[in-house]
């Protein structure tokens, strides 16, 4: 069964807000096995809305509409739906009581404008809004279901979860859809595609792979579609296992994992502590680690040593190493990692030193060259990377690369290189 989503409102078309509603709705629908055919954002214009409704209904069995239900003049969704279904607005006592109650709870009087919100098309099933003033509306017309909801994310989500998704599930029999995402770091999309091309070409038609690249990381999403639950699950698991084996050495997690979460869980589980010593990443590695709630259980702190004096005074880097090898070198990044382990009395460290640009590059040490080291009390491992030419992306890539190096260092994977 296919669904279309239509969002109504000029604020999306002038780029004032990002349409995050549609992504959330699509996610919830996919989890139930309902596919989304198209998402369309249209203006607060009657003709345009009518056309969009027609186009959507020609492609899908369900059309979910959000927005344009506010009390002000520019919100015309309700009148337009009346026109589309040849219906008329009638006053609804229940909805009025809901609006009145909500206003009382917030200490306001109901205005004439809000009284208008209790008017609904005669031919719809009213979806009561328990957290706002605009009611939802469920229509059935020539075999297609249309549902209109408020654009306020919180109100829309509440209606979807409590009423619309359950009702869609009883109305339509959903096919089975399985998704699983493997997260990789440190290998580009095309090299990854080459390494798994043989496996990918042999995939059955009802299982598909998508590459979702971002800075320095690629997510691999495997999706399976079918009617026979057992057969689909078996084949899906088999293919997933094969893929896992193929990308094992690049894979740091699954689905909603992040590198900072994975590393954090490993540290927490082993009771170990971490600190960072950062030059070119400027605190980004620490800031990423501390995104995770509860990280104070394992993260003690960081020294951002942008200036060479700070490298010497806080991390014990030797003046002669800075002169002989330069700040961006194996010797210095190793000293930074060892220094922070010692000074902050932690079990593990990540250190970075590189040229984030746009200036400061040379032929020997171009912009994008980053030395990264990971260390514990006894050992240090350092490696250099070329991470492109854009300052922001170099910092982001160095951050993820550092976290993934630490993950592999803790798993004893680095010695084998």
**Residues of this chain, 265-284, that bind its own copies according to CB under 8 A:** 276, 278, 281-284
Indicate the pairing of strand 144-149 with strand 176-185. unpaired
Residues within window 200-229 making contact with its own copies, judged by CB under 8 A: 200, 208-213, 221, 223
Rounded (10°) CA dihedral 7, 71, 139, 45: -50
Calculate the CA 192 to chain-centre distance: 21
For position 46 contacting its own copies by CB under 8 A, the verdict is no
For position 14 contacting its own copies by CB under 8 A, the verdict is yes
Nearest to 364, CA basis, from 394, 384, 344, 382: 384
Coil, helix or strand for 90?
Answer: strand
If the CB atoms of residues 122 and 313 are measured against its own copies, the closer one turns out to be 313
Taking a C-beta distance cutoff of 8 angstroms, is the pair 165, 158 a contact? no
With CB under 8 A as the contact rule, the residue among 142, 230, 293, 416 that binds its own copies is 293
Size of the site for its own copies (CB under 8 A): 113
With CB under 8 A as the contact rule, the residue among 48, 79, 244, 272 that binds its own copies is 48
Burial class (CB in 10 A: 0-12, 13-18, 19+), 205: exposed
Backbone angles phi and psi of 349, in degrees to 5: -145, 155
Residues within window 122-151 making contact with its own copies, judged by CB under 8 A: 131, 133
For position 174 contacting its own copies by CB under 8 A, the verdict is no
Nearest to 409, CA basis, from 302, 337, 345, 304: 337
If the CB atoms of residues 19 and 376 are measured against its own copies, the closer one turns out to be 19
391-410 and 259-270 helices cross at what angle (nearest 10)?
Answer: 30
For position 54 contacting its own copies by CB under 8 A, the verdict is no
CB of 123 to its own copies, least distance (A): 26
With CB under 8 A as the contact rule, the residue among 241, 291, 324, 362 that binds its own copies is 291
With CB under 8 A as the contact rule, the residue among 37, 268, 312, 365 that binds its own copies is 37
Q: Who contacts 199 (Cβ-Cβ below 8 Å, separation ≥6)?
A: 242, 243, 246
With CB under 8 A as the contact rule, the residue among 94, 97, 108, 248 that binds its own copies is 108
If the CB atoms of residues 17 and 324 are measured against its own copies, the closer one turns out to be 17
Nearest to 275, CA basis, from 314, 331, 307, 312: 314
For position 313 contacting its own copies by CB under 8 A, the verdict is yes
Calculate the CA 183 to chain-centre distance: 12
CB of 227 to its own copies, least distance (A): 19
With CB under 8 A as the contact rule, the residue among 33, 70, 326, 361 that binds its own copies is 70
With CB under 8 A as the contact rule, the residue among 1, 32, 33, 40 that binds its own copies is 40
Residue 225 tokens, joined: 């579609």
CB of 412 to its own copies, least distance (A): 26
CB of 224 to its own copies, least distance (A): 13
With CB under 8 A as the contact rule, the residue among 33, 301, 316, 361 that binds its own copies is 301
For position 314 contacting its own copies by CB under 8 A, the verdict is yes
For position 88 contacting its own copies by CB under 8 A, the verdict is no
Q: Cα separation of 306 and 155, whole Å?
A: 47
If the CB atoms of residues 29 and 147 are measured against its own copies, the closer one turns out to be 29
Residues within window 317-346 making contact with its own copies, judged by CB under 8 A: 343-345
46-59 and 77-85 helices cross at what angle (nearest 10)?
Answer: 60
Residues within window 354-373 making contact with its own copies, judged by CB under 8 A: 356-359, 366, 368
């Amino acid at each position: 069964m296919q669904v279309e989503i239509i969002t109504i409102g000029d604020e999306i078309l002038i780029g004032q807000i990002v349409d995050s509603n549609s992504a959330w709705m699509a996610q919830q629908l996919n989890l139930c096995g309902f596919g989304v055919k198209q998402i369309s954002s249209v203006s607060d214009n009657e003709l345009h809305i009518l056309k969009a409704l027609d186009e959507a209904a020609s492609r899908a069995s369900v059309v979910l509409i959000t927005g344009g239900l506010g009390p002000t003049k520019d919100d015309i969704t309700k009148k337009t739906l009346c026109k589309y279904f040849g219906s008329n607005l009638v006053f609804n006592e229940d909805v009025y009581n809901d609006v009145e109650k909500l206003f009382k709870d917030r200490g306001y009087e109901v205005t004439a404008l809000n009284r208008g919100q209790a008017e609904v098309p005669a031919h719809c099933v009213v979806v009561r809004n328990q957290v706002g003033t605009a009611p939802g509306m469920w229509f059935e017309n020539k075999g297609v279901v249309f549902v209109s909801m408020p654009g306020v994310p919180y109100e829309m989500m509440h209606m979807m979860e409590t009423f619309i998704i359950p009702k869609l599930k009883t109305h339509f029999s959903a096919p089975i859809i399985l998704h699983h995402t493997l997260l990789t770091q440190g290998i580009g999309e095309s090299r990854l595609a080459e390494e798994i091309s043989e496996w990918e070409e042999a995939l059955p038609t009802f299982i598909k792979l998508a590459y979702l690249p971002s800075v320095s990381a690629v997510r691999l999403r495997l999706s399976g579609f079918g009617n026979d639950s057992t057969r689909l699950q078996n084949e899906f698991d088999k293919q997933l296992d094969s893929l896992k084996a193929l990308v094992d050495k690049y894979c740091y997690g699954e689905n909603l994992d992040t590198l900072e979460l994975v590393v954090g869980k490993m540290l927490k589980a082993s009771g170990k502590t971490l600190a960072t010593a950062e030059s070119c990443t400027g605190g980004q590695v620490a800031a990423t680690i501390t995104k995770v709630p509860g990280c104070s259980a394992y993260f003690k702190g960081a020294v951002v040593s942008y200036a060479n004096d700070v490298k010497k005074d806080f991390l014990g880097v030797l003046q002669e190493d800075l002169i002989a090898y330069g700040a961006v070198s194996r010797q210095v990044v190793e000293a930074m990692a060892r220094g922070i382990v010692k000074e902050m009395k932690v079990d593990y460290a990540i250190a970075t030193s590189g040229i984030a640009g746009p200036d400061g590059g040379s032929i020997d040490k171009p912009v994008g060259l980053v030395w990264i080291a990971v260390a514990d009390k006894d050992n240090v491992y350092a490696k250099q990377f070329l991470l492109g030419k854009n300052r922001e992306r170099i910092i982001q890539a160095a951050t993820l690369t550092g976290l993934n190096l630490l993950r592999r260092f803790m798993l004893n994977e680095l010695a084998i290189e």
